[in-house]
Amino acid sequence: MGIAADITIIIVAGFIGGLIAKQLNQPLILGYILAGVLVGPFTVGPTVSGVHEIELLAEIGVALLLFALGIEFSFSELKKVKGVALIGTPIQILLTIALGYGFGLLLGWDWLASLWFGALISLSSTMVILKTLENQGNMGNYPVAS
């Protein structure tokens, strides 16, 4: 199969995953992630064959996602929640890294691979939460102290 067939598999799987997530009242991105796992090269059934090409496209997708989130970033809105952002963000990052690190060690990985896994989970979980809040219409809907 070529890149066109791989993209078709990915789009169809993402569509089906999104529909299932919507039916189960779950965030769409959860359905997309599970669909990606199911059509990955290490599963049975229809899978992508050009893993390298798909990885390159995925990197472009991540860059576009981060760009889209950056466009919505507002320093004036961040100032309104600076206490939560300055305290909660580092705590969330460190706890998520520690959780991923511990999980990696449970899987028998060495300390460096476990640390990288924790950092990866920390970054991706933040993006998942932001996209989920955006899809629910909760971005910027917070009480403002007077």
Q: Which two tokens stand for residue 145?
A: 């102290």
pLDDT(146) > 50: no
Q: Are 125 and 96 in contact, with CB atoms under 8 Å apart?
A: yes
Give pLDDT tens digits for 66-87: 787 777 777 787 777 777 778 8
- Read off the pLDDT band of 141 (50, 70, 90): low
Sign of dihedral through CA atoms 66, 128, 142, 97? negative
Is residue 88 packed enough to be buried (19+ CB in 10 Å), middle (13-18) or exposed (0-12)? exposed
Rounded to 5 degrees, φ, ψ at 142 are -135, 150
Do 125 and 97 form a contact (C-beta atoms < 8 A)?
Answer: no
Whole-model pTM: value is: 0.54
pLDDT in tens, 88-98: 888 888 999 99
Is 133 a residue whose pLDDT tops 80?
A: no
Q: Give residue 70's pLDDT.
A: 76
pLDDT tens column, 22-53: 899 887 888 888 888 888 877 777 777 777 88
Of the chain, the percentage scoring pLDDT greater than 70 comes to 85
pLDDT category at 110 given cuts 50, 70, 90 is very high
Task: Please state, in angstroms and as integers, the Cα–Cα distance from residue 81 to each residue in 11, 20, 138, 144, following that order.
Answer: 37, 34, 14, 8
